[in-house]
Structure 1
Amino acid sequence: MSQPRLELLGITGDEEALYRRLLRQSVGDDHDQVAGTTDRTGTTDGTAARTADRLVELGLATRNRTGVLRPVAPARAVEHLIDNRLDALREELDDAVRTSGVVESLQQERRTAPARRPPGEAHVIQQIEGMDAVRAVIDELTFFARSESLTTNPTGIISRESADFSRPVDLRVLRRGVRMRTLMAAPALDDRATLTYLHELAGKGAEIRISHQPLERMIICDRSAALTPLDRAHTAKGALLIREPGLVATLVALFDRMWAMAQELPTPDDEPPTEIERRILRSLYTADKDESGARDLGISVRTYRKHVASLMARLRATNRFQAALLAQERGWL
């Protein structure tokens, strides 16, 4: 029976051969650094190094601080490959839809009501009522964005529901090469779920800053259309869709001033651990099993393991004991 291949997930033969070779090697073997070696398949040193770089890019391997290549666990590696293929397919479909004009055609079906304004007068300001209608407008604006997307979040918190709605929209915009700038209020720094989502976007190319000054809520696309809330205190009521060039330019200038006063989003490595994370790091010295560590902290094993995985990723540690040592070196303990 032939061995299953990874070609269907977009992997070349050399890339798969190197990944399988890394999996076969001992976990403690440090001679798996590819640069400077020749693959058993006969590839040259330079080719092997490029293949190794490609594995890291695809999420199939990682490098430690000394440059040693380590394989990512097979289940996680395949998950990365699937995500990569889905992203490529989504981008291909987005491009096909944009060039076909199908969305414009469907929108035209809604424009059958007779115009109430004199011929030639555009709808420069529209009132959009209800969150469902507002989200539909956001989806439409971002779909057609070509150069820039500006967004503010005065609360600084992105709920799970909001993240689930925003993720496909945001990633679609970033895949098209649209410049995305997002301003978050300071509470974002204290909310782990929000920071995780922001770092996900930043990793895809978004520019994100944290403001310690009050923010005005707005979304601006291509400096030609803007959304602002009908009621600042009750944003669920709806929004104003503004296309009047002078008003949009004023909002862009306001955004730029708020942007200039904000600070860069801290990288994951710069973020100090929360109190529960500090306790978990200490438990890595003392607890011999996850179950005992979770029991000592009064949390579930699943939650404990989730925190440990997050901390190891932030510290770039290959095992839990190393994570504890690196945390101590950073002054986290």
Structure 2
Amino acid sequence: MTVPALPGAAARALYRELLADGGLFDLAQVSAREPAALAQLRATGLVVELHEGQWGTADPRRAAGLLRAQYREAAVELLLRADEPVRAMDELAQAYDSAALPPPAERSITHVEGLQQIQQRLGDLILESRYEILSMQPGGARPAVHLPRMYTDVEAIRGRGIELRTLYQPGADTDPATVAYAAHATALGARIRILDEPFRRLMVLDRSVVVLAGHASYQVATFVEDPVVVGLVLDQFERDWTRAERVRWDPPPPSTLADLLARGLTQRAIANRLGLSERTVAAQIARLREEYDADTLFQLGWLMRATS
């Protein structure tokens, strides 16, 4: 399904010009003068035919509603097709696995100690990833202190077109903050499921590197590049993924100032949602920012939720 792009600067300028002229116009005359801009206005429903040969400007709110419906329909269609590439490539993947490829120069297993060193190496691997990151995150609800960074990370990863699949344990799907994050991530195209079984924290990057957290402490991690070990971990992940529960990650309805702030809404939008004046909301936020020592509205929301 192909959806029209939003009108560009030239199309917007033409729309304002047509409005200034009374909103009615002759299609042939405008098309001869600005065909590309007019085509955008027609595609997005900002101009419509009133009767034969006579055209007029339409309400942008109605056009936005129609576009929104088309975008949602396209998004649903893409989600339904999300597993097609895996099925289409399965035969080639089997051929690749059975081919006698030359061994890599290094097949290393490296132990890294120290949280900062682990995060540095993991961050480098994520930046180098080209097509896929798989992860298993036990423990249920995500720690509130990590959630703001998780929003930034998932946007950056999906912005590069990287497939992202994650397994959580029960508890993640009942924690409002975790559900809100998962709803945001899945809206970007990430996939998150719940596996009601014990498992170990790990990541697999581009099907070539496995990162295993230490059993006793997060201060130790093992980075595995041996293809045999990586293959075994991948097989286990795919079996777990198949058994895991699909979840519809609907964000919880925001009901408090903290919820709205954590969603990144502006002061004006928050005031509209709460039915208050913008000045009242601004005064409340100023007081709370000082109380929580928050630099941004988003940070304030998460700090408030973490302590509620």
Evaluate the alpha carbon distance shift between residue 151 and residue 42 of structure 1 in structure 2; reply closer, same or farther with a 3 A threshold: same
Contact 2:125 2:205 in 1 (8 A): yes
CA distance in 2, matches of 1:152, 1:174: 18
Evaluate the alpha carbon distance shift between residue 289 and residue 11 of structure 1 in structure 2; reply closer, same or farther with a 3 A threshold: closer
Which of 231, 237, 242 is 1:260 aligned to?
242
CA distance in 1, matches of 2:16, 2:249: 32
Q: Does 1:142 align with 2:138?
A: no
TM-score (norm 1): 0.49
How far the C-alpha of 1:255 sits from its partner, in A, is: 1.0
How far the C-alpha of 1:11 sits from its partner, in A, is: 7.6
Q: Residue 187 of structure 1 aligns with which residue? A: 171
CA distance in 1, matches of 2:222, 2:256: 42
For residues 29-76 of structure 1, give each alpha carbon's deviation from its aligned partner in whole angstroms, at most 9, with x where no partner exists: xxxxxxxxx9xx9878863253469xxxxxxx877997498xxxxxxx
How far the C-alpha of 1:275 sits from its partner, in A, is: 9.6
What residue ranges of structure 1 are gaps of 5+ in the alignment?
1-9, 25-37, 54-60, 70-119, 278-287, 292-299, 307-333
Code of the aligned partner of 1:223: R
What residue ranges of structure 2 are gaps of 5+ in the alignment?
1-5, 21-29, 47-59, 69-103, 258-273, 278-283, 289-296, 298-308
For residues 109-168 of structure 1, give each alpha carbon's deviation from its aligned partner in whole angstroms, at most 9, with x where no partner exists: xxxxxxxxxxx9736111111221111121111111122110111013223442344444
CA distance in 2, matches of 1:159, 1:134: 19
Contact 2:141 2:173 in 1 (8 A): no
TM-score (norm 2): 0.52
Q: Residue 251 of structure 1 aligns with which residue? A: 233
2:106 counterpart SS class? coil
Q: Residue 41 of structure 2 aligns with which residue? A: 48
Code of the aligned partner of 1:50: A
Which of 133, 144, 160 is 2:117 aligned to?
133
CA distance in 2, matches of 1:11, 1:64: 11
Range with bigger deviation, 176-185 or 41-50: 41-50
Once the two structures are superposed, the pairs formed by residues 15-164 of structure 1 within 5 Å of their partners are: 16-17=12-13, 47-51=40-44, 67=66, 122=106, 124-164=108-148
1:234 counterpart SS class? coil
CA distance in 2, matches of 1:18, 1:51: 13
Q: Residue 234 of structure 1 aligns with which residue? A: 217
1:151 counterpart SS class? strand
How far the C-alpha of 1:218 sits from its partner, in A, is: 0.6
Q: Does 1:215 align with 2:211?
A: no
CA distance in 2, matches of 1:162, 1:52: 42
Percent of aligned positions with the same letter in both sequences? 23
For residues 176-198 of structure 1, give each alpha carbon's deviation from its aligned partner in whole angstroms, at most 9, with x where no partner exists: 22211111222111222222222
Q: Count matched residues.
A: 207
Q: Residue 13 of structure 1 aligns with which residue? A: 9
How far the C-alpha of 1:276 sits from its partner, in A, is: 8.1
For residues 74-107 of structure 1, give each alpha carbon's deviation from its aligned partner in whole angstroms, at most 9, with x where no partner exists: xxxxxxxxxxxxxxxxxxxxxxxxxxxxxxxxxx
For residues 205-243 of structure 1, give each alpha carbon's deviation from its aligned partner in whole angstroms, at most 9, with x where no partner exists: 212212222232110011110111122x532x2210011
Evaluate the alpha carbon distance shift between residue 226 and residue 68 of structure 1 in structure 2; reply closer, same or farther with a 3 A threshold: closer
How far the C-alpha of 1:14 sits from its partner, in A, is: 4.2
CA distance in 1, matches of 2:115, 2:226: 23
Contact 1:163 1:197 in 2 (8 A): yes
